[in-house]
Homo-oligomer: A and B are copies of this chain.
Amino acid sequence: MRPLILIGTAGFLLGAAPPKLLTPNDIVTAAPPAAWRTINPDDLLVIDLKDGGRVVVQLAPAFAPIHVANIRGLARGQYWDGAAVYRLQDNYVAQWGNNDSKKGFPTGVVAKPPTEYSRPVKGLAVRPLGFADPYAPAAGYASGWPIAYSPKGGWANLAHCYGSVGVGRDLSPDTGTGGELYAVIGHGPRQLDRNIAVVGRVIEGIDRLSSLRRGTEALGFYKERSEDMPIVSTRLASQITAGERPSFQYMDTSSASFAQYLRLRANRHDQFYIRPAGGVDLCNVQVPVRRTP
């Protein structure tokens, strides 16, 4: 299936302007307001780095409610004061938090959360990817998130794609608290799916993490604390005064716009491409996100 969507009808063979071939970005630009969903300010974690960079994480309470509640509590309780990015493993993760801190948790934070590595697929409006996924019986998108799922097994999990944010943990059954977080900065490490709690994704500023110097110790940890990138503040958007509060929208993955975007990502036919793949993998279709206009 190679649908060439031609806009403008001027004759190509007759010497007129060549037909405009739609790109995935064209779909994003043309998507109507109804295709967008504004993100709740309690679902936005705003992390300001000492070098001036800002990283904004969208949280996913529908997938990891207890870990997300912990993260909100840690932000409100200023647990991350003095935190830093202390691990950069190339083609894998950037990790941050208060790794060596002896600080206690704010009231209400659950010290030993349940696994939350997956949830029931029931209740999710799933748009199937439409192509085979090597990691799970099926893959697709739900409520703006890339997911893997099993129609038979009844489970669904947030997939580890570029920018995904998960909860650092020690060996199972420890699931981590949310105090130490990582973001994927390389090829989607899908082998981590269902082995760790994914709590969201970076929607702005992932480049501020991905361009940090790689750590030289095992697993990409920085050798000296002086190499850390300090974090000057970690707040929910809801804690920021209205005038300065950032606001974002994601494209509704149930919308017709997203369906068309997905189809074009699998069938690139704009002028640079001469041979559309006719398929695409879950992580190569990043759900469009924008600042609220």
Contact = CB atoms under 8 A, between A and B. Distances in A.
Contacts of A284: 187-191
Contact of A90 (B188, B191, B206): B206
A234 to B, nearest CB: 18
A196 interface: yes
Interface residues of A, number: 65
Contacts of A196: 1
How many subunits of this chain does the assembly comprise? 2
**Chain A binding surface, main DSSP class:** loop
A277 B189 CA distance: 11
Given A95-B1, A135-B280, A90 B210 contact: yes
A230 interface: no
Interface string A179-214: 010100111111101111000000000110011111
Contact of A277 (B90, B136, B166, B273): B136
B162 A277 contact: no
A274 interface: yes
A125 interface: no
Contact of A283 (B161, B187, B212, B266): B187
A124 interface: no
A213 B210 contact: no
Interface stretch (A62-70, A72-80, A169-177, A235-243): A169-177
A271 B171 contact: yes
18 contacts: A1-B167, A1-B180, A90-B211, A91-B162, A132-B133, A132-B134, A134-B279, A135-B280, A162-B187, A185-B210, A186-B186, A187-B188, A187-B284, A190-B277, A190-B281, A191-B268, A195-B274, A211-B212
Given A132-B132, A171-B272, A195-B275, 9 more contacts: A1-B93, A1-B168, A1-B176, A2-B219, A90-B206, A117-B275, A134-B279, A135-B279, A211-B211
Interface of A: 1-4, 88, 90-91, 93, 95, 117, 129, 131-136, 161-163, 166-172, 176, 180, 182, 185-191, 193-196, 206-207, 210-214, 219, 265-266, 268, 271-281, 283-284
